Structure 1
Amino acid sequence: MRPEVRTFVADGSLPDWDASEEEIDRRCHQLAAISRPVTREEAAALATCFGPDDCYGAAWTLVHLIETAPGPVPQLEDPGSEVGDWAQTLWARWAGEHPAT
Protein backbone atom coordinates (compact mmCIF):
# COMPACT_ATOMS: atom_id res chain seq x y z
CA MET A 1 0.00 0.00 0.00
CA ARG A 2 1.37 3.41 -0.92
CA PRO A 3 2.40 5.78 1.89
CA GLU A 4 -0.22 8.43 1.06
CA VAL A 5 -2.99 5.82 1.31
CA ARG A 6 -1.58 4.48 4.60
CA THR A 7 -1.49 8.03 5.99
CA PHE A 8 -5.09 8.73 4.99
CA VAL A 9 -6.34 5.43 6.41
CA ALA A 10 -4.32 5.82 9.63
CA ASP A 11 -6.09 9.12 10.31
CA GLY A 12 -9.42 7.29 10.35
CA SER A 13 -12.86 8.31 9.21
CA LEU A 14 -13.60 11.55 7.42
CA PRO A 15 -14.72 14.22 9.88
CA ASP A 16 -18.30 15.39 10.07
CA TRP A 17 -19.68 18.82 9.24
CA ASP A 18 -18.89 20.07 12.73
CA ALA A 19 -15.13 19.59 12.33
CA SER A 20 -12.85 22.59 12.05
CA GLU A 21 -12.11 24.04 8.65
CA GLU A 22 -8.45 23.14 9.17
CA GLU A 23 -9.26 19.48 9.85
CA ILE A 24 -11.52 19.22 6.80
CA ASP A 25 -8.90 20.93 4.61
CA ARG A 26 -6.17 18.63 5.94
CA ARG A 27 -8.18 15.50 5.14
CA CYS A 28 -9.14 16.84 1.69
CA HIS A 29 -5.47 17.52 0.92
CA GLN A 30 -4.58 13.99 2.03
CA LEU A 31 -7.28 12.62 -0.24
CA ALA A 32 -6.12 14.73 -3.19
CA ALA A 33 -2.55 13.43 -2.72
CA ILE A 34 -3.64 9.87 -3.58
CA SER A 35 -3.05 9.28 -7.29
CA ARG A 36 -5.43 7.23 -9.38
CA PRO A 37 -6.00 4.37 -9.92
CA VAL A 38 -5.86 2.70 -6.53
CA THR A 39 -5.29 -1.00 -6.03
CA ARG A 40 -7.96 -3.36 -4.70
CA GLU A 41 -6.10 -3.50 -1.38
CA GLU A 42 -5.98 0.29 -1.17
CA ALA A 43 -9.64 0.57 -2.15
CA ALA A 44 -10.62 -1.86 0.60
CA ALA A 45 -8.66 0.15 3.16
CA LEU A 46 -10.07 3.46 1.91
CA ALA A 47 -13.61 2.07 2.13
CA THR A 48 -13.22 2.04 5.92
CA CYS A 49 -12.74 5.81 6.02
CA PHE A 50 -16.27 7.07 5.45
CA GLY A 51 -17.58 9.36 8.15
CA PRO A 52 -21.08 10.08 9.40
CA ASP A 53 -21.94 12.56 6.62
CA ASP A 54 -20.59 13.76 3.27
CA CYS A 55 -17.94 16.03 4.84
CA TYR A 56 -18.74 18.88 2.44
CA GLY A 57 -18.37 16.59 -0.57
CA ALA A 58 -15.19 14.79 0.50
CA ALA A 59 -17.11 11.51 0.82
CA TRP A 60 -18.02 11.69 -2.87
CA THR A 61 -14.35 12.25 -3.71
CA LEU A 62 -13.54 9.17 -1.67
CA VAL A 63 -16.23 7.14 -3.50
CA HIS A 64 -14.84 8.18 -6.88
CA LEU A 65 -11.28 7.36 -5.79
CA ILE A 66 -12.28 3.89 -4.58
CA GLU A 67 -14.10 3.30 -7.86
CA THR A 68 -10.81 3.58 -9.75
CA ALA A 69 -9.75 0.19 -8.38
CA PRO A 70 -10.11 -2.80 -10.69
CA GLY A 71 -13.14 -4.96 -9.93
CA PRO A 72 -15.18 -5.00 -6.74
CA VAL A 73 -13.81 -4.04 -3.37
CA PRO A 74 -13.82 -7.37 -1.47
CA GLN A 75 -15.36 -6.01 1.75
CA LEU A 76 -18.18 -4.38 -0.19
CA GLU A 77 -19.33 -7.30 -2.33
CA ASP A 78 -22.18 -7.96 0.13
CA PRO A 79 -22.23 -5.07 2.59
CA GLY A 80 -25.31 -6.08 4.57
CA SER A 81 -27.37 -3.73 6.66
CA GLU A 82 -24.79 -2.99 9.37
CA VAL A 83 -22.55 -0.80 7.18
CA GLY A 84 -22.91 2.95 6.84
CA ASP A 85 -24.71 4.85 4.13
CA TRP A 86 -21.54 5.65 2.20
CA ALA A 87 -20.46 2.01 1.98
CA GLN A 88 -23.98 1.17 0.79
CA THR A 89 -23.75 3.95 -1.82
CA LEU A 90 -20.41 2.66 -3.05
CA TRP A 91 -21.67 -0.91 -3.25
CA ALA A 92 -24.88 0.11 -5.02
CA ARG A 93 -22.94 2.13 -7.59
CA TRP A 94 -20.55 -0.76 -8.21
CA ALA A 95 -23.36 -3.33 -8.44
CA GLY A 96 -25.23 -1.16 -10.96
CA GLU A 97 -22.19 -1.01 -13.22
CA HIS A 98 -21.18 -4.65 -12.78
CA PRO A 99 -24.32 -6.77 -12.38
CA ALA A 100 -23.82 -10.28 -11.05
CA THR A 101 -23.45 -12.97 -13.68
Structure 2
Amino acid sequence: MRREVQAFIADGPLPDGNADEQEIDRRVRQLESISAPVTPDEAQALATCFGPDECYGVAWSLLHLIETSPGPVPLVTLPDPDAHDWHHTLWNRWGNHGVTDENLTRY
Protein backbone atom coordinates (compact mmCIF):
# COMPACT_ATOMS: atom_id res chain seq x y z
CA MET A 1 0.00 0.00 0.00
CA ARG A 2 1.36 3.40 -0.94
CA ARG A 3 2.67 5.74 1.74
CA GLU A 4 0.08 8.44 0.93
CA VAL A 5 -2.79 5.99 1.38
CA GLN A 6 -1.33 4.70 4.65
CA ALA A 7 -1.03 8.27 5.98
CA PHE A 8 -4.65 9.06 5.08
CA ILE A 9 -5.91 5.86 6.71
CA ALA A 10 -3.76 6.38 9.81
CA ASP A 11 -5.58 9.65 10.50
CA GLY A 12 -8.89 7.80 10.68
CA PRO A 13 -12.33 8.79 9.46
CA LEU A 14 -12.99 12.17 7.93
CA PRO A 15 -14.12 14.80 10.42
CA ASP A 16 -17.66 16.10 10.41
CA GLY A 17 -18.68 19.43 8.94
CA ASN A 18 -18.17 21.14 12.31
CA ALA A 19 -14.44 20.42 12.28
CA ASP A 20 -11.84 23.13 12.25
CA GLU A 21 -11.26 24.51 8.73
CA GLN A 22 -7.55 23.77 9.00
CA GLU A 23 -8.24 20.11 9.80
CA ILE A 24 -10.55 19.78 6.82
CA ASP A 25 -7.98 21.45 4.56
CA ARG A 26 -5.29 19.09 5.85
CA ARG A 27 -7.40 16.05 5.03
CA VAL A 28 -8.16 17.47 1.57
CA ARG A 29 -4.43 17.85 0.91
CA GLN A 30 -3.85 14.28 2.09
CA LEU A 31 -6.58 12.99 -0.21
CA GLU A 32 -5.29 15.00 -3.16
CA SER A 33 -1.82 13.51 -2.67
CA ILE A 34 -3.20 10.05 -3.53
CA SER A 35 -2.98 9.52 -7.27
CA ALA A 36 -5.58 7.48 -9.09
CA PRO A 37 -6.15 4.70 -9.72
CA VAL A 38 -6.03 3.07 -6.31
CA THR A 39 -5.51 -0.66 -5.91
CA PRO A 40 -8.34 -2.88 -4.68
CA ASP A 41 -6.58 -3.20 -1.30
CA GLU A 42 -6.18 0.57 -1.06
CA ALA A 43 -9.83 1.07 -2.00
CA GLN A 44 -10.94 -1.36 0.70
CA ALA A 45 -8.84 0.44 3.30
CA LEU A 46 -9.97 3.90 2.16
CA ALA A 47 -13.61 2.80 2.48
CA THR A 48 -13.08 2.75 6.26
CA CYS A 49 -12.34 6.48 6.28
CA PHE A 50 -15.80 7.93 5.77
CA GLY A 51 -16.95 10.22 8.54
CA PRO A 52 -20.43 11.04 9.79
CA ASP A 53 -21.33 13.46 7.00
CA GLU A 54 -20.15 14.83 3.65
CA CYS A 55 -17.44 16.99 5.25
CA TYR A 56 -18.06 19.82 2.77
CA GLY A 57 -17.80 17.43 -0.18
CA VAL A 58 -14.57 15.74 0.89
CA ALA A 59 -16.42 12.44 1.36
CA TRP A 60 -17.56 12.58 -2.26
CA SER A 61 -13.95 13.06 -3.36
CA LEU A 62 -13.00 10.03 -1.28
CA LEU A 63 -15.81 8.01 -2.86
CA HIS A 64 -14.69 8.98 -6.37
CA LEU A 65 -11.10 8.01 -5.56
CA ILE A 66 -12.24 4.62 -4.28
CA GLU A 67 -14.17 4.13 -7.51
CA THR A 68 -10.94 4.37 -9.53
CA SER A 69 -9.93 0.92 -8.30
CA PRO A 70 -9.58 -1.44 -11.28
CA GLY A 71 -10.61 -5.04 -11.27
CA PRO A 72 -12.81 -6.59 -8.63
CA VAL A 73 -14.47 -4.05 -6.40
CA PRO A 74 -13.35 -4.57 -2.81
CA LEU A 75 -16.70 -3.80 -1.17
CA VAL A 76 -18.84 -6.46 -2.78
CA THR A 77 -20.87 -7.71 0.15
CA LEU A 78 -24.33 -6.43 0.86
CA PRO A 79 -24.05 -3.91 3.71
CA ASP A 80 -25.95 -4.61 6.90
CA PRO A 81 -29.00 -2.36 7.34
CA ASP A 82 -27.21 -0.41 10.08
CA ALA A 83 -23.98 0.04 8.08
CA HIS A 84 -22.62 3.52 7.48
CA ASP A 85 -24.51 5.49 4.79
CA TRP A 86 -21.36 5.72 2.68
CA HIS A 87 -21.09 1.94 2.49
CA HIS A 88 -24.66 1.83 1.21
CA THR A 89 -23.74 4.50 -1.34
CA LEU A 90 -20.73 2.48 -2.49
CA TRP A 91 -22.90 -0.63 -2.73
CA ASN A 92 -25.57 1.17 -4.71
CA ARG A 93 -23.04 2.70 -7.09
CA TRP A 94 -20.87 -0.29 -7.90
CA GLY A 95 -21.08 -3.16 -5.52
CA ASN A 96 -24.42 -4.69 -6.31
CA HIS A 97 -23.53 -6.47 -9.53
CA GLY A 98 -24.21 -10.15 -9.28
CA VAL A 99 -26.78 -9.78 -6.51
CA THR A 100 -29.10 -12.73 -6.21
CA ASP A 101 -32.44 -13.05 -4.44
CA GLU A 102 -30.64 -15.20 -1.89
CA ASN A 103 -28.37 -12.26 -0.97
CA LEU A 104 -31.30 -9.93 -0.52
CA THR A 105 -32.91 -12.10 2.16
CA ARG A 106 -30.43 -10.59 4.64
CA TYR A 107 -32.68 -7.53 4.95
> What TM-score, normalized by structure 1, do the two folds share?
0.90
Equivalent residue, structure 1, for 2:53: 53
3-state secondary structure, aligned to 1:92? helix
Q: Quick one: percent identity of the two aligned structures?
A: 57
Q: Distance in 2 between matches of 1:95 and 1:40?
A: 13
Give the stretch that moved more between structures: 80-89 or 23-32. Answer: 80-89
Q: Distance in 1 between matches of 2:87 and 2:34?
A: 19
Equivalent residue, structure 1, for 2:20: 20
> What TM-score, normalized by structure 2, do the two folds share?
0.86
Displacement over 3 Å in runs of 4+: none
| RMSD of aligned alpha carbons | 1.4
Q: Which letter does structure 2 place at the counterpart of 1:73? A: P
Equivalent residue, structure 2, for 1:73: 74
Q: Is it true that 1:31 corresponds to 2:31 in the alignment?
A: yes
Structure with the greater alpha carbon radius of gyration: 2
List runs of 5+ in structure 2 lacking aligned partners: 100-107
- How many matched pairs? 98
Equivalent residue, structure 1, for 2:91: 91
